[in-house]
Amino acid sequence: MSLAVYIKAPPIYRKSPKIAKDHSKRDRFFYGLISAVGAFSIGFAIWPYFAWQLTTASKLTQKIEKFPIPQAQVLSTSTILANEVQVAKDPDGFSYFTTNYKPPASIGLDGQGPRPEEFLITIPKMKIENAKVKVDSIRFDTSIAHFPGSALPGEIGNPFITGHSVLPQFNDPENYRTIFTKLSDLEIGDDVYVEIAGRKLHYIVQYAKIVDPKDLSVLLPISSTGRNLTLMTCVPPGTNLKRLVVITSLI
């Protein structure tokens, strides 16, 4: 006699039309919410880039055209460029100028030693007050950096300093990782103050321009007798596409 085995099929539960409709509404709501949050996050990150391109970039380009430098006054040689300045990249892909050159510690301001290790800079319009600038440095994560071999503030030449920038909404003038975010706000005639070796110096903004990250010419002295100071950061803020340089003159 054959043995028969009977297996009871599990019960089938079917959602009522009302429950299925409620679940469908809930799924659509969460999908819409996530999409909205995603779209807002993308806009939050990229809108400042387009806004900067549409407003600030064009304004800076117009300014430099109104303030040409006679070619006869531009120096064609530089002790900095003769010291094998290179463009390097950090692990995040951000490029920066670098050199192995370091001026002797005995050669200080106007040839008088010892060489200062740092100085302070104040830019009222950017709400920067007594920010520390490290002399002869290429690191600007814990201070602003004064490029090795460039003149010291107050001397004939072009002291060249660099600071970080980020997306404008994260700007903090007291944080060295964001301190130059508002550099493009500076206009002709704005004030920049420097305190170095007991001296207080007053610079005014002459003009600004946007350059390629590999453009080493920005390190050059502006003229054979000029006492200038150049500020540089990445633009548009939060990117590494271009560089903004703001040139000031001692008064």
- Helix (H/G/I), strand (E/B), else coil: 118: strand
Q: Using CA atoms, how far apart are residues 143 and 26, in angstroms rounded to an integer?
A: 51
Which tokens hold the place of 239? 């990117």
Give the span between the Cα atoms of 67 and 248, in whole angstroms: 12
Task: Summarize pLDDT for 61-116 with one digit per residue, the tens.
Answer: 444 444 444 444 433 344 566 567 888 877 767 788 888 888 888 888 888 888 99
- What pLDDT sits at residue 125? 97
Query: What are 234's strand-pairing partners?
Result: 243
Beta-sheet pairing, 128-134 with 144-146: parallel
The pLDDT of residue 113? 81
Q: For each of the domains in the chain, give its residue range(s) and CATH number, in order of start.
A: 65-250 (2.40.260.10)
Contacting residues for 238 by C-beta, under 8 A, at least 6 apart: 45, 48, 49, 165, 166, 167, 168, 170
- Residue-wise burial string across 120-143, b where 16 or more C-beta atoms lie within 10 A, e elsewhere: bbbbeebebeebebbbbbeebeeb
The pLDDT, as a whole number, for residue 142 is 93
Residues β-bridged to residue 134? 118, 145
Mean pLDDT by 10 residues, the chain (251 residues): 59 59 65 63 56 60 44 45 76 80 86 91 97 94 93 94 92 95 94 96 94 90 92 89 94 92
pLDDT of residue 67: 42
The pLDDT, as a whole number, for residue 112 is: 83
pLDDT, residue 90, reads 74
